[in-house]
Copies of this chain bind each other. A is one copy, B any other.
């Protein structure tokens, strides 16, 4: 399948790129008005909503302005947590104790989109880093929902947008966890070839402009899923120009975009500003003019993953559909977790948050260098890789083998060494790939010394034995003929 498509696409390349995809034609694209009606994008599920009317919804309100006996809420007399104290030991210890009001707030049901102060902090973060306008700017209203991790955000968005058989544009290799919520509902993936800057614009344009030829009898894609910074697993960065090109093609073919950006703060090689603060690349959200981008952020990769907290940023027109699914699934993210992050972020303020981000970047730069040393010391000539300038991963080609999966299955894992498998990141499961993904954020150098040595030895043996087997087979065959 993969071969057939790349073959057809090669043939088409010559035909189409010239007339249809030279830079000029691309930049000739005239932006349209922002999308007003998203109904054509919605899933059957989203179009068959729960039939609660506003009046009914209002009966579940718990508020001090009304006498509410509608909601099925426990008595505050049952609440077990009477004191809660955090210590954020960062640039000097900061003890924070919750007030009684806060303790009551987090032990009772609260609003689906999240605790107001935490949400507002995240909104100001999006304004600071992505140049968003005030969320209430007339005609440009946007909003934000706290989610129990970005994985849950994906789960909700699949519910809102996808029916079985719908198509989705993805990168040639992409986040494996995304498949866990898309494959079971039978989404058809259209992977786009990548270069060192990510998805290749002409390839994207090619697939979209020749959809019927390349994917006969498949639904035309309604959405593009992309990981712009320190792409998972390849580690590539989309620069602003590449983002503009991809975005314009998405507009031209009327696609929505899910920007899943867990590594935004893990950009490691960008120049610094006069305050020594690293300048971060613009997101797709920041260049969105037609209200096509839904952005996913998470605290998992630069702060803490175990508390499961992220947030969705979307234009206000899509807010209701997403909030419905969030509410239907968990009501809201854990109040305890929300207040812990709220207290942390508010006590830090912008300055300490930025300082934390800087520290995280420095740690990753150090670990990245250590990992490069290990590759050079133990695996010279056995692997090929590009140094990632963002994220957590090296995307490594194992030389001399055609399938990293078989190598890990048959040999490596029996030596208690584990790396990510290329196939786990591939929407097309029929391929063989020699790639592995190496997480460097978690790597301890002394462990790396041992693990990389084992990898090197196992690779040598595996290749030698494979050659031997092939050779024996030749001999056997030869004998057979004789």
Question: Which A residues form the contact surface with B (CB < 8 A)?
Answer: 44-46, 48-52, 55-56, 58-62, 65-75, 77-90, 93, 95, 105-110, 148-149, 151-152, 155, 159, 164, 176-177, 179-181, 183-186, 232, 300-309, 324, 327-337, 340, 344, 356, 360, 363-364, 367, 392-393, 405, 408-409, 413, 416-421, 423-424, 429, 437-443, 447-448, 450-451, 454
Listed residue (A65, A77, A89, A301) with the most chain B CB atoms within 10 angstroms of its CB? A77
Listed residue (A69, A360, A405) with the most chain B CB atoms within 10 angstroms of its CB? A69
Contact partner, A66, options B44, B416, B441, Cβ 8 Å: B416
Nearest CB of B to A357, in Å: 10
Determine the distance from Cα of A307 to Cα of B307 in the docked complex, in whole angstroms: 12
Q: Please tell me if the beta carbons of A443 and B303 are within 8 angstroms of each other in the complex.
A: no
Q: Please tell me if the beta carbons of A306 and B108 are within 8 angstroms of each other in the complex.
A: yes
Q: Please tell me if the beta carbons of A420 and B328 are within 8 angstroms of each other in the complex.
A: no
Determine the distance from Cα of A399 to Cα of B67 in the docked complex, in whole angstroms: 21
Select from chain B the residue with minimum beta-carbon distance to A151: B331
| 10 interchain residue pairs of minimum CB distance | A83-B87, A82-B89, A306-B335, A180-B328, A67-B451, A107-B304, A334-B337, A70-B420, A334-B334, A66-B416
Nearest CB of B to A318, in Å: 16
Q: Please tell me if the beta carbons of B77 and A88 are within 8 angstroms of each other in the complex.
A: no
Q: Please tell me if the beta carbons of A329 and B55 are within 8 angstroms of each other in the complex.
A: no
Nearest CB of B to A361, in Å: 11
Q: Please tell me if the beta carbons of A148 and B334 are within 8 angstroms of each other in the complex.
A: yes
Contact partner, A70, options B324, B416, B437, Cβ 8 Å: B437
A392 neighbours in B (Cβ, 8 Å): 72-74
Q: Please tell me if the beta carbons of A56 and B424 are within 8 angstroms of each other in the complex.
A: yes
Q: Please tell me if the beta carbons of B78 and A303 are within 8 angstroms of each other in the complex.
A: yes
Select from chain B the residue with minimum beta-carbon distance to A450: B67
Contact partner, A363, options B77, B413, B417, Cβ 8 Å: B77
Q: Please tell me if the beta carbons of B51 and A439 are within 8 angstroms of each other in the complex.
A: no
Determine the distance from Cα of A367 to Cα of B75 in the docked complex, in whole angstroms: 10
Q: Please tell me if the beta carbons of B393 and A181 are within 8 angstroms of each other in the complex.
A: no
A330 neighbours in B (Cβ, 8 Å): 148-149, 151-152, 155, 308, 330
Determine the distance from Cα of A184 to Cα of B309 in the docked complex, in whole angstroms: 26
Determine the distance from Cα of A204 to Cα of B148 in the docked complex, in whole angstroms: 39
List 25 A-B pairs, Cβ < 8 Å: A48-B184, A50-B179, A52-B176, A59-B418, A59-B424, A65-B416, A67-B451, A69-B419, A72-B420, A73-B439, A74-B441, A75-B441, A75-B442, A79-B304, A81-B87, A81-B340, A83-B93, A85-B87, A148-B334, A152-B330, A155-B330, A180-B324, A306-B334, A308-B334, A308-B335
Known A418-B59, A423-B56: A303·B80 in contact at CB below 8 Å: yes
Known A83-B89, A89-B82, A151-B330: A336·B67 in contact at CB below 8 Å: no
Nearest CB of B to A296, in Å: 14
Determine the distance from Cα of A480 to Cα of B155 in the docked complex, in whole angstroms: 60
Contact partner, A56, options B62, B66, B421, Cβ 8 Å: B421
Q: Please tell me if the beta carbons of B423 and A185 are within 8 angstroms of each other in the complex.
A: no
Determine the distance from Cα of A52 to Cα of B356 in the docked complex, in whole angstroms: 35
Q: Please tell me if the beta carbons of A110 and B329 are within 8 angstroms of each other in the complex.
A: no
Determine the distance from Cα of A424 to Cα of B303 in the docked complex, in whole angstroms: 41
A424 neighbours in B (Cβ, 8 Å): 52, 56, 59
Q: Please tell me if the beta carbons of A336 and B429 are within 8 angstroms of each other in the complex.
A: no
A405 neighbours in B (Cβ, 8 Å): 55-56
Contact partner, A305, options B74, B301, B306, Cβ 8 Å: B74
Determine the distance from Cα of A65 to Cα of B417 in the docked complex, in whole angstroms: 10
Known A109-B306, A306-B335: A300·B74 in contact at CB below 8 Å: yes
A332 neighbours in B (Cβ, 8 Å): 308
A331 neighbours in B (Cβ, 8 Å): 149, 151, 308
Q: Please tell me if the beta carbons of B86 and A83 are within 8 angstroms of each other in the complex.
A: yes
Given A306-B336, A307-B334, A308-B332, 18 more pairs with CB closer than 8 A: A46-B184, A50-B184, A51-B179, A59-B421, A69-B419, A70-B420, A74-B300, A75-B363, A80-B344, A80-B356, A81-B340, A82-B89, A85-B85, A107-B306, A109-B300, A109-B305, A306-B335, A333-B334
Q: Please tell me if the beta carbons of B232 and A72 are within 8 angstroms of each other in the complex.
A: yes
A305 neighbours in B (Cβ, 8 Å): 73-74, 107-109
Nearest CB of B to A368, in Å: 12
Nearest CB of B to A191, in Å: 15
Determine the distance from Cα of A50 to Cα of B429 in the docked complex, in whole angstroms: 11
